[in-house]
Amino acid sequence: MKRIADFIVERRLWIVTAVLIAAVVCALLIPKVGIVTDMSEYLPDDSNMKIGTDIMKEEFPDSADYSIRVMFKGLSDEEKSAMAKKLAAIENVANVDYVQGDADYNKDGYTKYVLRTKYDYSSDEEKAIEAALTADFAEHEMQFANDDSSGSGMPTWVAVVAVMILTVILIVMCNSWIEPFLFLFTIGIAVVINLGTNLIMGSISETTFSVAAILQLVLSMDYSIILTNRYRQECAKTEDRKAAMKSAVAGAFSSISSSSVTTVVGLLALVFMSFKLGVEMGVVLAKGVFLSVICVFLVLPGLILWFSGLLEKTRKPAPKIPTGGLAGFCSRFRVPLSVVFVLLFIGAFILHYRTTISYTMIDHDPVAEVFDKESQVVLLYENADDARVTSKAEDIVKWDGVKSATNLSNTLGKQYTAQEMSAVLAGMAEGFDLSAVEMLYQYRDTMVSPEQAGHMSLLELMYFLRDVVANNPGFRVLMGEEIAQYVEKSAAEMDDAARQMQGPKYSRLVITLTIPEEGEESEEFFRKMNDLCSDLTGPYYLIGTSAMSYEMSQSFDSELLRITLLTAVAIFLVVLITFRSPIVPFILVLLVQCGVYITITVIGFQGYSINYLALLIVQCILMGSMIDYGILFSNYYREARRSVGASEALKQAYAGSIHTILTSGLIIVIVTVIFGQCFGDPTIEQICRTISIGAGCAILLILFVLPGVLICFDRFTAGRGRLKEKAN
């Protein structure tokens, strides 16, 4: 390592220049990285919904339906109809759903309209609709919400606020006024390179893109602190700054590499998730931490040497944290603290099961506070099962929480007698009285088989009329131009609608639900659906946000257990190599896992559910990153025990580690929670809040519980070289 340190210091100008060039290139590549907003893309390849979604995209490429719910307060009956027409006139709005007098659209003085568009929520056209709502209806008391289930992009100001908070913490805790800016520049380069190199993945999710940069910053900042502190220690031994930096790079390599390895290994445990978003996030964050380590060794030494004079001129006192009393407390009450640790672990393990796991995160929805939000589930099935599914739809609509269940056969394809058809047409257009409809049926019956005579679907009627109007000018004159144009338009619209319901091989039954997208009611619905569809001759697929939540909930418990065990075993082996003793790694892994359980329990007691992704991420980050603080404290304790008694070793362990633990820990706790609150996206907020709570719990356990456990089991934790005396 000494030769590498010599090369880094002697060739620092060339090395820093090369890294900066790489950063510029990667900065240009960032816009080329695709951003994925559809979470169904990350389902496992063998997922029933994933297979069904792929089939549906192929058979029904234009079936996507994007909607914006708009709610007005205090409209008169006359204004309600006029408002529907005004909303329909907004550019890019395909149509507006509204039924006068219907309780689904009129409630307690509020009126709801559902705007339909063919443009995706992230498109400029959809944003233009929302802009028009804000600008053109400002005189009304109006609120709106789209039905986008994906996250929102990260506003620039949120990133700026996060960096400012991080900078303030560093300024308070560092020994120089300009140190924080050297740290931020170094890790900032690593962040840019990480974001640019995501191009090798083709595209990343919006969630990963939003949190990757800030998590990389907070997880990697302590590497800069470790190297800088080591440099100061070496400067105390020699006035030759270059020699001091060479020794610092060589001396800090072991601490930084071991610290980063646990973080990288913890993050890579996400790779074993079946949901591919975890795989992607694990790779991106692990790559980011690795690049941060590289930049700390390649860039920071040059920066420190070039600004060494300014660093000396801008020296300031760092906060002195007195820990003597805390060390004495932990030494005196080591047995009770060890008992508390065991009780905490058992209690948190039991209580964490009370916290509900969620698979969708819903943002504040003012419209849903008045009108129950509806969701849709698509049953995709083979055309050969159409009659059987149409029959089952009659049962499905009778279930609690089901508003409708429609396919081609029970809507446009439903068969009617002439009398029934006249009643249907009466509400659609004038001119279709019973005698006219009966004449059409009689005329059409002469062209079909006896089995088809006497019945016709609305779609068949419009096709028949369209052909008659097109091929018989006299009939067009008899019918009237207005009716003829209505028929042509309706036939085209119905033909398009039919193609969205029935494809070459598969059909769609669209089920509208009024129950929550996840929970006991939703799970019961999907259990009943699977039972009901078990006798279909061909395969069937349930598609939708609630379907994805249900599918994930069925496998999450086993997946969480697998990730937990893999992470714990991997980290245990890494720490075992460091300490060459199984006792300390065992204690540290249990301690951090206890922090995970406490975090889940705290979130549950606050009345929240915990997002599955937040839980998996906090599991891996705490196990990979927070355990570093335990390693740091334990190392100081073991080193001190070679020459002093256990109580004194505990004081030295606190003195040597407290500054690094609090600086890095405060960054993770404060920056993540404020970043999540500012961001506004519910999934990002949940992930950041969980990391913040988890980091806080882990730090408290390491500072207040770990010391007592170490000294209580001093015979096993102090190492072979400990001073041969009984712990005080």
Residue 388 is predicted with a pLDDT of: 93
What gap in Å lies between CA 86 and CA 210, rounded to an integer? 37
Sequence-ordered strand ranges (E) for 565-715: 610-611
Angle between helices 646-666 and 156-173 (to 10 degrees): 150
Whether residue 27 contacts residue 192, with contact meaning beta carbons closer than 8 Å, is answered with yes
Averaged over 336-344, what is the pLDDT? 92
Residue 574 is predicted with a pLDDT of: 85
Write the pLDDT tens digit of every residue in 14-39. 999 999 999 999 999 999 998 887 77
Write the pLDDT tens digit of every residue in 517-550. 888 889 999 999 999 999 999 999 999 888 888 8
Residue 728 is predicted with a pLDDT of: 43
> How many residues are there in the chain?
728
In 30-76, which residue ranges form alpha helices assigned H by DSSP? 48-59
**Weakest-pLDDT range from 236-250, 317-331, 575-589, 617-631:** 617-631
**Weakest-pLDDT range from 297-311, 327-341, 383-397, 705-719:** 705-719
Residue 641 is predicted with a pLDDT of: 83
Query: Could you give all domains of the chain from N- to C-terminal order, each with its CATH number?
Result: 1-37+154-319 (1.20.1640.10), 44-146 (3.30.70.100), 415-501 (no CATH)
Q: How many helices (H) and strands (E) does the chain have?
A: 30, 15
What gap in Å lies between CA 152 and CA 521, rounded to an integer? 28
The rounded percent of the chain whose pLDDT value lies above 70 is 94
Residues 6+ apart with CB under 8 A from 280: 42, 201, 204, 205, 208
**Weakest-pLDDT range from 83-92, 278-287, 626-635:** 626-635
Q: Is the dihedral of CA 404, 407, 409, 412 positive or negative?
A: positive
Provide the pairing of β-strand 375-382 with 95-97.
unpaired
Averaged over 139-166, what is the pLDDT? 73
Longest dimension (CA), the chain: 114
Residue 430 is predicted with a pLDDT of: 58
Q: Give the confidence band of 727 by pLDDT, cuts at 50, 70, 90.
A: very low
682 vs 266, higher pLDDT: 266
Please say if the pLDDT value at position 45 is more than 90: no
Residues 6+ apart with CB under 8 A from 242: 9, 10, 305
| Mean pLDDT over each residue of the chain, to the nearest integer | 85
Q: What is the dihedral of CA 51, 52, 57, 59, to 10 degrees?
A: 110
Averaged over 392-413, what is the pLDDT? 91
Residue 681 is predicted with a pLDDT of: 67
Two structure tokens written together for 276? 């591919």
Identity of the residue numbered 232 = R
**Weakest-pLDDT range from 145-159, 649-663, 698-712:** 145-159
What gap in Å lies between CA 621 and CA 82, rounded to an integer? 55
In 352-457, which residue ranges form alpha helices assigned H by DSSP? 386-396, 418-426, 434-445
In 472-582, which residue ranges form alpha helices assigned H by DSSP? 473-479, 481-501, 520-532, 545-579
Write the pLDDT tens digit of every residue in 430-453. 556 778 788 878 888 888 888 788
pTM of the model: 0.79
80 vs 621, higher pLDDT: 80
Two structure tokens written together for 726? 């009984």
CA angle, 344 as apex, 341 and 345 as ends, to 5°? 85
Write the pLDDT tens digit of every residue in 54-86. 898 888 877 667 788 889 988 888 888 888 889
Q: Which residues pair with 405 in a beta bridge?
A: 511
The rounded percent of the chain whose pLDDT value lies above 90 is 21
What gap in Å lies between CA 215 and CA 379, rounded to an integer? 39
Whether residue 518 contacts residue 360, with contact meaning beta carbons closer than 8 Å, is answered with yes
Two structure tokens written together for 205? 């999710």
